[in-house]
Amino acid sequence: MKLYYYDRGTKEYLGEAVADMDPLESEKQGEKVYLIPAHATSTPPPATAINEMTIFDDLSGHWSIVPDYRGEEYFTANGTMKKIETLGEALPADAIRIPPPSHYHTWNSANARWEADLAFIKKDKIRQLELQTTAYISKDDVQDKRMPSWRQSRWNEFCILHEKALAGIALNAREQMIYDAMPDTSAGETFASCYNNCLAAFGWIHQCISANNNMIVQIVALATVENVLAFDITACPYPAWIGV
């Protein structure tokens, strides 16, 4: 006699084996009696198709067929990936099996294809470029201090004060303190050389912004979603930091 085994937890069919005969009961009853261990039955399971599994009901003693998509991945209309983990969970009717080309794409059910808003993708690409440009200008590492916002503010104020001093306009006590503290006199820096360094730094910022704006023009001119997605903003030709 064949036995059909099922999982203790999920009740899913595991496989079959030949039953062992119970010698004591067979002798006692005068006929063949077989041992049926826990989680096994002599009732054969029905045939299943792909993505189906048979499970056994201990109470009724019957097999039933349930969906089995465990491990299957699909996508929702907004591009979110889902994975079926549970036996008996059916694949949703609106499940999409084709992965989206990018996180910008949404599913057009009428045309049965992924589509994206070209204008939106351009806008987001430009946003990423501007964040990159700001980070490049504002780098504030110990070994590579460029022009973070605090330094821009401080240097801009010094330039204004220096121009007032050159024009013979008296500085108040606070302004004089800021003005006097700006040049690095220990390194031989004067008010004039400090002013020139500030102008050079702001000129460098202007060049960075120009490179950024030129790349924005290139992004705006792109005609397809694929071209925008492939456009490499890390290739923006920023000028090297001048090291002041």
Q: What is the pLDDT of residues 198-209, one digit of tens each?
A: 999 999 999 999
Say yes or no: 157 and 186 in one domain. Answer: yes
HSE-up (13 A, CA, CB side) for residue 82: 18
Q: What is the pLDDT of residue 21?
A: 85
3-state helix, strand, coil in the chain (%, to 5): 40, 20, 45
List, for residues 116-132, the tens digit of each pLDDT value. Answer: 999 999 999 999 999 99
Question: How far apart (Å, rounded) are the C-alpha atoms in residues 109 and 7?
Answer: 40
Say yes or no: 123 and 133 in one domain. Answer: yes
Say yes or no: 140 and 213 in one domain. Answer: yes
Q: What is the pLDDT of residue 50?
A: 96
If you ran DSSP here, which 8-state letter would residue 80 be given? Answer: -
Q: What is the pLDDT of residue 143?
A: 81
Say yes or no: 187 and 152 in one domain. Answer: yes
Residue 151 lies in a domain: yes
Question: How far apart (Å, rounded) are the C-alpha atoms in residues 30 and 32?
Answer: 7
Say yes or no: 207 and 222 in one domain. Answer: yes
Q: At what angle do helices 173-181 and 149-166 cross, to 10 degrees?
A: 110
Q: What is the pLDDT of residue 24?
A: 83
Q: What is the percent of the chain where pLDDT is above 90?
A: 87
Say yes or no: 227 and 140 in one domain. Answer: yes
Please check the confidence at residue 27 and state whether its pLDDT lies above 80.
no
- Whole-model pTM? 0.69
Say yes or no: 205 and 188 in one domain. Answer: yes
Average pLDDT for the chain = 94
List, for residues 135-173, the tens digit of each pLDDT value. Answer: 999 999 878 889 999 999 999 999 999 999 999 999 999
Residue 243 lies in a domain: no
Residue 244 lies in a domain: no
Residue 199 lies in a domain: yes
Say yes or no: 158 and 202 in one domain. Answer: yes
Question: How far apart (Å, rounded) are the C-alpha atoms in residues 204 and 207?
Answer: 5
Q: What is the pLDDT of residue 29?
A: 84
DSSP string, 141-169: -SS-B---HHHHHHHHHHHHHHHHHHTTP
Q: What is the pLDDT of residue 74?
A: 97
Residue 242 lies in a domain: no
Q: What is the pLDDT of residue 240?
A: 96
Say yes or no: 16 and 50 in one domain. Answer: yes
Give alpha helix (H) positions in 85-148.
118-137
Say yes or no: 104 and 126 in one domain. Answer: no
Q: Which domain range does residue 153 map to?
A: 118-235
List, for residues 55-94, the tens digit of each pLDDT value. Answer: 999 999 999 999 999 999 999 999 999 999 999 999 999 9
Say yes or no: 129 and 203 in one domain. Answer: yes
Say yes or no: 125 and 231 in one domain. Answer: yes
Q: What is the pLDDT of residue 231?
A: 97
Number of domains, the chain: 3
- Do 51 and 68 contact (CB within 8 A), yes or no? yes
Residue 140 lies in a domain: yes
Q: What is the pLDDT of residue 215?
A: 98
Residue 58 lies in a domain: yes
**Which of 116, 136, 151 is at the close of a domain?**
116
